[in-house]
Amino acid sequence: MEQAPPDLERQWQPAPLEPLGHTDAGLQAAVGEEAEGSRDEVPGDGTEHALGLGVLMTENNFGLKKIEISVSEAEKRTGRNAMNMQETYTAYLIETRSVEHTDGQSVLTDSLWRRYSEFELLRNYLLVYYPHIVVPPLPEKRAEFVWHKLSADNMDPDFVERRRIGLENFLLRVASHPILCRDKIFYLFLTQEGNWKETVNETGFQLKADSRLKALNATFRVKNPDKRFTELKHYSDELQSVISHLLRVRARVADRLYGVYKVHGNYGRVFSEWSAIEKEMGDGLQSAGHHMDVYASSIDDILEDEEHYADQLKEYLFYAEALRAVCRKHELMQYDLEMAAQDLASKKQQCEELATGTVRTFSLKGMTTKLFGQETPEQREARIKVLEEQINEGEQQLKSKNLEGREFVKNAWADIERFKEQKNHDLKEALISYAVMQISMCKKGIQVWTNAKECFSKM
């Protein structure tokens, strides 16, 4: 199983000095001054991505231009599927704007509609051609970790809205990745509406994909994988498990919190009714009841904001799978290497035995020789020659496999470092914004109850 070599057709430029580490400073500088709401520079993060900016190859091949990508609309469509049956799906409008370097103005350059399956196709393609990259994940296909208010229906407007944001996020991640942003298929995804699917399929990437079975086999049988990848694999398993757990419990917490707030709405009604039979107490009760209604309805916005936090966690949940994919690729390559080395060693031994006449290893030829008589020296010579050729070839292959393997490890690990920085930065930001949400919720609560208390004091 060989790694597809960088294809000049797919990438605009060979980039021998590719910055394999952080996306950071250069991109940062490129978008820096024009960025609104400047954030602290953290190297190797997706800051530019968070600002909605990325880079793309210019048409004239002379370097990268700054772009803005947005998935601005979602539309329900009906069409016919592969089996000529009517189906309903959602299409998303992708708009690409080129940002002028000097004045920061943006100009709409491309605008087309894509559906989720096309995004999936793009990603699968990227997975095959960039196995050493932690490829950004797509938003979930079906709504999971729902709490009772959220619909699990794919057509539900809230789900579609959140998916729209998730898809935009995906594109921005790709566009701000130093290597992925250069990919031609990605470029075409943003610019060529018709015929794109055919173009992707023509690359034949599906054929190049490693079979799942092969990968599984390699995982079990590999003897000497790079320790770092083994550790990384464990980490991604644990990360996936803990984030899943977190999302599940958070959904339950949201459910309960919703219940607490909503029941308070009943106070509004009963205070109002009670106030009708009271003289002095009436006004205070009535206005307090109003505040209880405000309190009860405040939870909807609060929980909607929290969904955004859940989505940020989900992205990293899915990123764990992308990490694992890179580890799997390494194991596959390593296993392949080990098998090749093993094969070469056995051939060498065979050759040696033939040359010296000692039989230490079992071979069919040896057996038949024993059974049917000795072979002629000419026959033996011929066999040795064949073997020597094979050994030569094998040594070449082993050398190149070794080289490939080391290249892979180096490149992959560089991207993993970049990813780690990005992850730490993003998750910190997510936690901060979660804390800010909680603070806002507490302040609202204090406000409402203080108002209610004042009303009660006037009873």
Partner 1 sequence: MSGGPPKGLPSTGPHSLLDMPHPLAGSSSEEAVGGDSTPSPDLLMARSFGDKDLILPNGGTPAGTSSPASSSSLLNRLQLDDDIDGETRDLFVTVDDPKKHVCTMETYITYRITTKSTRVEFDLPEYSVRRRYQDFDWLRNKLEESQPTHLIPPLPEKFVVKGVVDRFSEEFVETRRKALDKFLKRITDHPVLSFNEHFNVFLTAKDLNAYKRQGMALLSRVGESVKHVTGGYKLRSRPLEFAAIGDYLDTFALKLGTIDRIAQRIIKEEIEYLVELREYGPVYSTWSALEGELAEPLEGVSACIGNCSTALEELTDDMTEDFLPVLREYILYSDSMKSVLKKRDQVQAEYEAKLEAVALRKEDRPKVPADVEKCQDRMECFNADLKADMERWQSNKRQDFRQLLMGMADKNIQYYEKCLMAWESIIPLLQEKPEANGSPLVFIPWWSL
Dihedral angle sign, alpha carbons of residues 10, 13, 19, 25: negative
Q: Which is nearer to partner 1, 165 or 249 (CB)?
A: 249
Of positions 216, 263, 355, 403, contacts partner 1 by CB under 8 A: 263
Selected range binding partner 1 among 131-139, 157-165, 269-277, 345-353, rule: CB under 8 A:
269-277
Q: Are 316 and 429 in contact (CB under 8 A)?
A: no
Selected range binding partner 1 among 127-135, 225-233, 264-272, 350-358, rule: CB under 8 A:
264-272
Q: Cβ 447 to partner 1, closest distance in Å? A: 9
The closest of 5, 23, 18, 141 to 426, measured between CA atoms, is 23
Q: Cβ 279 to partner 1, closest distance in Å? A: 6
Counting contacts by CB under 8 A, is residue 8 touching partner 1? no
d(CA 399, CA 199): 34
Q: Which is nearer to partner 1, 57 or 122 (CB)?
A: 57
Q: Are 23 and 48 in contact (CB under 8 A)?
A: yes
d(CA 296, CA 305): 16
Q: Which is nearer to partner 1, 376 or 457 (CB)?
A: 457
Of positions 115, 214, 262, 365, contacts partner 1 by CB under 8 A: 262
Question: Could you report how far apart the first and last alpha carbons of the chain are, in Å?
Answer: 81
For 157, other C-beta atoms within 10 Å of its C-beta total: 11
Instruction: State the DSSP code for 11.
Output: B
- In the numeric block, the tokens 């009303």 are attached to 455
Of positions 39, 221, 256, 385, contacts partner 1 by CB under 8 A: 256
Of positions 144, 238, 301, 381, contacts partner 1 by CB under 8 A: 238
Site residues for partner 1, window 116-145 (CB under 8 A)? Answer: none
d(CA 186, CA 205): 14
d(CA 453, CA 284): 9
Counting contacts by CB under 8 A, is residue 205 touching partner 1? no
Q: Which residues contact 239 (CB under 8 A, 6 or more apart)?
A: 316, 317, 320, 323
Beta bridge partners of 90: 76
Q: Which is nearer to partner 1, 119 or 258 (CB)?
A: 258
d(CA 190, CA 14): 21
Which residue type occupies 408?
F
d(CA 27, CA 181): 12
d(CA 370, CA 178): 62
Site residues for partner 1, window 75-104 (CB under 8 A)? Answer: none
SS (H, E, C) 302-315: HHHHHHHHHHHHHH
Provide DSSP, 163-210: HHHHHHHHHHHHHTSTTGGGBHHHHHHHH--TTHHHHHHHTTHHHHSP
Of positions 10, 97, 173, 264, contacts partner 1 by CB under 8 A: 264
Selected range binding partner 1 among 102-110, 216-224, 254-262, 383-391, rule: CB under 8 A:
254-262
Beta bridge partners of 69: 96
Site residues for partner 1, window 277-296 (CB under 8 A)? Answer: 277-281, 284, 288
Site residues for partner 1, window 156-195 (CB under 8 A)? Answer: 178
Of positions 155, 345, 367, 442, contacts partner 1 by CB under 8 A: 442
d(CA 154, CA 87): 13
E strands within 81-119? 86-99, 106-115
Of positions 105, 206, 266, 402, contacts partner 1 by CB under 8 A: 266
Per-residue x/- track, 378-417, partner 1 (CB under 8 A): ------------------------------------x---
Counting contacts by CB under 8 A, is residue 151 touching partner 1? no
Q: Which is nearer to partner 1, 403 or 431 (CB)?
A: 431
Q: Which is nearer to partner 1, 27 or 333 (CB)?
A: 27
Q: Which is nearer to partner 1, 77 or 453 (CB)?
A: 453
Look at residue 423 and give its three-state secondary structure: helix
Q: Which is nearer to partner 1, 234 or 385 (CB)?
A: 234
Of positions 8, 13, 165, 346, contacts partner 1 by CB under 8 A: 13
Counting contacts by CB under 8 A, is residue 246 touching partner 1? yes
Count interface residues toward partner 1 (CB under 8 A): 77
Per-residue x/- track, 35-64, partner 1 (CB under 8 A): -----x--xx----------x-------xx
Of positions 221, 269, 370, 410, contacts partner 1 by CB under 8 A: 269
Counting contacts by CB under 8 A, is residue 250 touching partner 1? yes
Site residues for partner 1, window 419-438 (CB under 8 A)? Answer: 424, 427-428, 431-432, 434-436, 438
Site residues for partner 1, window 303-362 (CB under 8 A)? Answer: none
Strand order in the sheet with 64-80: 53-57, 64-80, 86-99, 106-115
Q: Cβ 161 to partner 1, closest distance in Å? A: 23
d(CA 170, CA 46): 12
Of positions 89, 113, 116, 235, contacts partner 1 by CB under 8 A: 235
